[in-house]
Amino acid sequence: MTPDEGVSRFLDERAGEVRESTWQNDQTRLEHFLEWCDEAGVENLNELTGRRLSEFVTWRRKQVAPITLQKQLSSVRMALRRWADQEAVPEGIAEKLHSPELPDGAESRDSFLSAERAHEVLDYYENFEYAGKEHALLGLLWRTGMRRGAAHSLDENDLYREEHAVRVEHRPESGTKLKNGDGGSRWVYLGPRWTRILEDYLEHPNRPSGRDDHGRLPFFQKSGGGRPSPQTLSKWVVRALHPCSYTGECPHDRTQESCDARGRDANFSACPSSVTPHDVRRGAITHHLNENVTPETVSERMDVSLDVLYRHYDARTEREKMAVRRDQLPD
Q: pLDDT tens, 125-173?
A: 999 999 999 999 999 999 999 999 999 999 999 999 999 999 999 999 9
pLDDT score for 105 = 47
Determine whether domain 3-96 maps to CATH 3.40.50.2000. Answer: no
**Cα–Cα distance measured from residue 47 to residue 189, given in angstroms and rounded to the nearest whole number:** 53
In the prediction, which pLDDT does 71 show? 76
The phi, psi pair for 211, rounded to 5°, reads: -85, 155
State the 10-residue block means of pLDDT for the chain, 331 residues long: 95 84 86 93 94 92 78 89 93 85 52 91 96 97 95 97 96 92 95 97 94 96 93 91 92 81 76 87 94 94 91 86 87 76
Could you give the CA distance from residue 79 to residue 14 in angstroms, rounded to a whole number?
A: 10
Tens digit of each residue's pLDDT (9 = 90 or more) over 245-258: 999 999 888 887 77
Q: Dump pLDDT digits (tens) for 60-88.
A: 888 877 767 877 888 899 999 999 999 99
The CATH classification of domain 115-270, taken from the options 1.10.1740, 1.10.443, 1.10.3470, 2.40.10: 1.10.443
Residue 69 has phi, psi (to 5 degrees) of -60, -40
What is the DSSP annotation of 151-199? Answer: HHH-BGGGEETTTTEEEE--BGGGTB--TTGGGG-EEEE--HHHHHHHH
Q: What is the mean pLDDT of the chain?
A: 90
Residues sharing a CB contact under 8 Å with residue 196, sequence separation 6 or more, in sequence order: none
Domain span(s) for CATH 1.10.150.130 in the chain: 3-96
Provide CATH 1.10.443 ranges for the chain: 115-270
pLDDT at position 194? 97
pLDDT of residue 258: 74
3-state SS of 193-204 is HHHHHHHHHHCC
Neighbours of 38 (CB within 10 A): 12
